[in-house]
Structure 1
C-alpha cells in the first residue's frame, strides 16, 4: 500500500509550529546573538522583532548571575551539555521580571557541528501565582482549624485518618502517638482503648471488644450525636456525617462543663445557703420573696415561710413602698440587668442595719426572677468614717508640712503632689497631675536623676539624693529627696518621693568645704613659701653676699677696678630678689583669695583677658580665634587672670619669626565646661607637664630671651582648683602648647 504524500513539507510543518507555538522561541548563534524569534517571543519580551534580532542573550536575563550559570552549563557548544532544562528569571523591555522554564537545545550544521542554539521559554508567572494561592489557601485552612476550639477530624472512604486539628489531638491525648495521617480509625481507637482512653468501655477484654464493635458501627452509620467520656471527668459530644464521597467528617465538642452543671446546680443551693452574704430570690410577677438563704433569715429574724409572705419593700427601712418600687422599676421592666445601691434593712424586732445591695434580673429560667445579694456594711461604714477622718487628718498634715511630697508612676508621671511642691513649680496640683516630674529639674541633671531611679530595686527600694531645683521665679534651691519605689511581684508599681529643703545646710557644708580647701591650699602655700625662702630667695641673697664680700676685700686691698662690676651684680640680684618678692605677693593675693562666684558668659572673661594684653598683642602681632561659649558660675576676675596668664605665655614663648596664634574652644558636657587654649609657640615637652605648674618653675633660665618669674601657670592651677576645676597640659599637642581647663557646671 502506497500512502499519499502530504500536501506540505516537513520544513513547512516546522515553520508553522514555530510561528504558532504559544511559548516564546528564540534561536541564537554560537556567540549567543539572537538571530530568530517567533511572535510569542516578541510579545513576551516587549521588543519589536527588528530590535530583538541582533540582541545578545545577556540583555534578556534578569541578572548577570543567571546568565553566567546558564553559560557555564551549556557553553561552549562544542563541549557543553547537549540539552539544558532550568528555571530562570527573564527581564522584559519595560524592566519587569518574570520566571520561566528554559529549555536549550543545540542546532547542528550540515557538517554535524553545533552552529547555534534554540531556546524554548515557558512563562511560569501564572503557574507560580496559582501555587502561591494554593499554599495560602492551605495555610488559611490550617489556621482556621487551629483557631476553633472543637475537635475536627476527617477519615477517608477506607476509614484512614485524612485530617485532624490540634483540639482533636488534645481531646484524645492517650491516642495522640497514633494520630497519624493514613492510620485506620479502628487501629486508633484500639490503641486508645488499650491505654485507658475510654473509661466507660468496660473492665474485661470481652466488654472492651463489644464496646469497640459498637463504636465502629456508629462510625460507619452515624445516626445522631454520641456522648463519650475520655480520660476521667472529661466528656465529649461526637457529631459525625458521611459525605457523598464516603468521607467521614467528625466534630468533637467538650461538654465537660455541661455534664457538671447538674451536680454543680445541686451544690449551688448548699453554697448559697452557707455564704455570709444575704441571698434572696424575688418573683417579678408578684414581687414576693421566693426563697432566701440562712444568713438572710437570721439577720431579718424571719422563718422561710414568713419570708415568702413578704416583699422587699416590707424589709426596707429607708424608702417608702412607692420609692422602693421606683428604685427597682428599671430592673422589673427589663430596661437594665443589674442594679446597685445602698439600703437599710429592718429586722422583725424593728432594729435596722445598713447593707449594700446587688440586684440582677434572671430571664433564662422558667419564671423571670430577681436575685438579690445583700451585704451588711455597718462595720464597713464605721471603718470608712474612721478612714475618712484619718485621711482628712493626713491631708491637713501634708498640706502644712514644709517638705515636698509627690506620688508618681515608675515613668515619673505624677499622680499626686502637695501644695508646697505645686507652689514651688508655679502650677496648681491639678495641673501637675499627669505630667512627668523629670521635666522640672534642670536639663543637665535629668540623666543622673533617671539613673538614680533606675537603680531602685526590690532589694534596695529606697534611696536619697540631693537635687538642684529651680522655682518658677528662678530661685535655685537644693532639696534632699527620699525616693521609695513600691514593687509588686518584682515589678515597679509606684514611686513615693519626699523632698526637704537643704539649701542652707548645703551652703554651710560648701562654705566649710571651701574653707577647708582654702586652708589646705594656704598650708600648701606655706610649704611652698618655705621651700622658696630656703632655696629660690636665698640664691640672690647668696650672690649679693658674695659680691659684697668681694667689694670689702677689694676696698681693704685698695683695689677699685672691679667695684663697679661687683656693684652691678649686686644691683641685678637685688632687682631679681625684688621681682621674686613682688611675684610672691601677687601670687599670695590672687591664688588663694576667696572666690566670689556669679553667673556670667565665659567669652566675656576671655575677651577682657585678651584686651588687658593689648600692648603685648600689638608688639607680637598676635591673633585670637574663639569657638563655642557657655554660662558658668565663677569669679570673673580670677578667670580673667587665668586666661590672661595663658595668653601672656602664648605671646611670650614663640619663635620671633612666627606670629602668635591663640585658639580658644568651649564645649559643654553634662558635668563640666571644657575650655581649650592652644597656641603655635615653641611648646612644652611632656616630661615637664607637671613641673610647669609649680611656683618659680621656669623651663628657660635665660630671662633676657623669655623674661618672667615663673608663677603664671602656678597661679592658673590655683585659680582652677579654687573653682573645683582642673588645668592640665595636653600631651597630644606637638605644634605648640595646648592647655585644657575643666570647670564644674553648677
Structure 2
C-alpha cells in the first residue's frame, strides 16, 4: 500500500531529529515536533501559545528575525542564519535556523515553520580540527627536520620553517602554490645546489634528473645544499598522488662511520614513534624517544618486550597474517591499524607502517607508528552524519537528484531510480533530460535556462511515465547553485502531485456539471414562466368566454371555444412530455465505450423507418469510424437530426441525408447534412434552446422545439459540441465534434 504524501510528511515531521516549530502571525507557537520538545525541554502544553521570541538567547537576534518575517503579509525570502537559542533550563546552544512561510492555496501567508539544527557537535568538531591543525603546525615548526608536501599538481601545500631555513637561498620561491620545478629552478639560479655543475647544460641535466626523482621517488638519497652542509632527502607518494618530503640534516652523521649510529641519531629526533624489531625472535631492538615517551617504558624495558605484548587490537592469528608477507619477503611494506596499550594500562588507536630493511645483516623491520585516535573519532562522526543524511534522503517519498549544469546526473536517490526502472549506477553520468518525455524536454530546457543568481529556484510540473506505462504528474523544484555568477550544480526535488491534479480535474468537472445544471434551471424557469403559461392563459381565456356565453344564454360558439381548449391542452401535454424526455436524457449518466459510428447511425435510421418510408427519405453514409461514446445517447442525437431533416424537407422533393466522419489526434468530427429548407444563419444559436421553434404553424411543421436542445446536451455530456454550419448554402448542415 502506497502512503500519501501527507502521511509521509507527517512521519518525517514526527521522526525528524531536528526541532521543527510552527509559529502563527503573532509569533505564538502553534505546534512542535518531538525533537523540539526534547531539545528545548518544554512540554507540548508549555510550547503551545508561547512567544517564539523567548527562545532566542539574544533579544537582538529575535528582533532581527521578527523584522524580516513579520508582518506575514509582507513578501520576504526564507531566513537562513546562525544564532544562539535558549533552553528551558537557561542553557544556550548554537544553532542554524531556517524559517519559511506557510501559505494557503491562494498564496496568503498565515504562519511560519522553523527548522532548528543544533551546531554544538559541529562547532566542537571544528574546534578539535583547529586544535589538531594548531598542534600539527606547532609540531612541524618544532622539529628540526625540513618537511614539505606537494599536491597532485605538484604545487606546494605546506612546509615548516626548518624546510625554508635549509633551503635559505631558495626561500623567496618557497611559497604555497608554487610548483616544485619553479622552486628548484629558482634555487638552481641562485647557487643552492653545488652538485648541479657550472654550465647551463649540466644544470639542466641535473634539474631533469632531480624532477624525475621527485616524480618517482625511491630510496632516500643524500643532497648537498652547500659545500659544508648535507641533507638526507626522503620522498614518498601518497594514495592521493601527493608528494611528501622530509629533509634531515646529516652533516654531522656523515662524519660518523657506523651506519647503525647514523640510523639511531636520525630516528631519535623524529616526533613519530619509530621501532626497530628483529624478525627472528620478534623482540624490539631499538625505539626512539617518541615511542618511549608514549608507551611509558624505558629503552631497557622495551628491549625485553615483543610488539605482540603491548598490541591489544589484533589477535595472535591476525598478527601472524599481517607480518607473514614481510617475513616471506613477498612484501617490503605493510600498513595496518591496531591498538597499543601503555604501561599504565591506557590504550590508543594507531596506524603502523611496517617496512623490512633489505640491507640489514639479519632480518629486521622498521615500524613507524602514528596515534590516530582523534582522527578516527572525527571520521566516525562524519560517517554517522553522512549515514543519517543518506538514510533520510533515501527514505523520502520525493525524487532527489544532483546534476551538473548541463543536467549530467551526479546523484539520484533510490525512489527516482526505482521509478525510472534503472539502478542508481546506471543513471549516474546520464543526462537528466534523458528521463523526461520528449514532448516536455524543450519546455524544461527553457525553464532551466531561466534560472539565474537572482532567481535560482523555480518549480515546474511534468508528466512522467513509469515502466508500467502509467502517466504520473510530478512537481519539480529546481535549484541552480551559482559560484561567482556561474552555474555549478543543479539540485532537483520531484513530488508526486497526481492526486492533487485528479482532485482539481474532478472539481473542474463538477463545476462544469453544476454550470450546465444552473443553465438548465434558468431555461426551465423561463419555460415555466412563459412557454407553459401561454397555453394556460389561452385555456383560461376560452373558459371565461364559455362562462360569459352560457351566462348570456348564447350557445352557438361553445363548440368552437371547447375545441380551442382541447387543442391548447394537447399542445401543453406535448410540451410537458417533451420536457420530461429532455430531463431524462439531458443529464443521463453516460457510459462511454468504443463503438462504430455505423452502429449509432443505423439504429437511429431504423427507429425512423416508417417516417423515412412515408417521406421517401434516403440516407447516405460512407465513412465508418470508431468513436468513444454512449451508444444510446449518440443514437438519440442522430435520430433527432434525421427526424428534423425528414420533417423540414423541400415540398415535392424527397429528403436526402448524408453522414460523413473523420478522426484525427484531436478527436472525431461528424457532419450531418440534408437538402431541406435550411435555417436562417441569424438563428444558429436560438435553434438549440428549449421549445425554440422557427415555424409557428404546427399544422405545417409539428413539434415542440426540444430536439436540437437535446442534441446539444448529449454532445456536451461527451465533452463535445454541435453547431450549425452557417456557410451551407442549400439545405442544413450540422457539425458534431467529440474529443479523442
Band the TM-score falls in, shorter-chain normalisation: 0.3 to 0.5
The TM-score, its normalising length taken from structure 1, stands at 0.45
Give the greater-gyration-radius structure (CA).
1
The TM-score, its normalising length taken from structure 2, stands at 0.45
